[in-house]
Structure 1
Amino acid sequence: MVSLEQVKKTIQQEIPDAEVVIKDLTGGGDHLEAIVVSSQFEGKTKVKQHQLVYSALQAELQSEAIHALALKTYTPSTWSGLKS
């Protein structure tokens, strides 16, 4: 099992400006939700945004340390609009 903090740090290594929130959806540590906000997502489709995050977590996903990942990605402007 991988810790929520490890998942956050792994994403931030690949996407340095990312604001990341990781939630454990089941209490077992292997079904997670990641909310990622980054300027690197500007001009990219949701698929491309998600691919950036999946790329960062490739080792954890292949080893099944993370069994399921619900992913929500936002640009900073979209994120600030949601919080308003």
Structure 2
Amino acid sequence: MLPSDVKALLESRIEGCEFHIQGEGCNFQVVAIGDVFEGLSPVKRQQLIYGALSEEIASGELHALSLKTYTPAQWQNAPENTNA
């Protein structure tokens, strides 16, 4: 699986989010930015992403995910944001 595959899956399953994906094979780092995370705990945010990829995780297509989730306001000051 390629980062572009993971991005396409997430974009088709979670609306209104921007995704930055790195990795290869079955191990990926996901940075997700969206209003959908507003008011959600860190655990609920991760559950949203894992839930969107549950089929691929269950099948073994995806094995390890490193997740970072931000609201657009949080993203403005995030260390991963190279435009900050």
TM over 0.5: yes
Q: Tell me which of 50, 53, 58 is aligned to 1:57.
A: 53
**2:21 is equivalent to residue 22 of structure 1:** yes
Q: Using the alignment, how far apart are the partners of 2:32 and 2:49 within structure 1?
A: 8
Cα-Cα RMSD:
1.2
Letter in 2 for 1:31: N
Determine the C-alpha separation between the residues in 2 that align with 1:64 and 1:58: 10
- Calculate the TM-score normalised by the size of structure 2: 0.87
**In the comparison of the two structures, how many residue pairs are matched?**
80
Match of 1:11 in 2: 10
Output the amino acid matched with 1:37. Answer: I
4+ long deviations beyond 6 Å: none
TM-score by length of 1: 0.87
Contact in 2 for aligned 1:8/1:22 (Cα 8 Å): yes
CA distance in 1 between counterparts of 2:44 and 2:38 reads 10
Q: 9-18 vs 34-43, which deviates more? A: 9-18
Task: Give the unaligned 5+ runs of structure 2.
Answer: none
Q: Once the two structures are superposed, what CA deviation does each residue of 1:18-49 show, in whole Å capped at 9, x if it has no partner?
A: 1101111xx5x111110000100000001111
Partner of 1:66: 62
* SS of residue in 1 equivalent to 2:57: helix
Gaps of 5+ in 1: none
Q: Percent identity?
A: 35
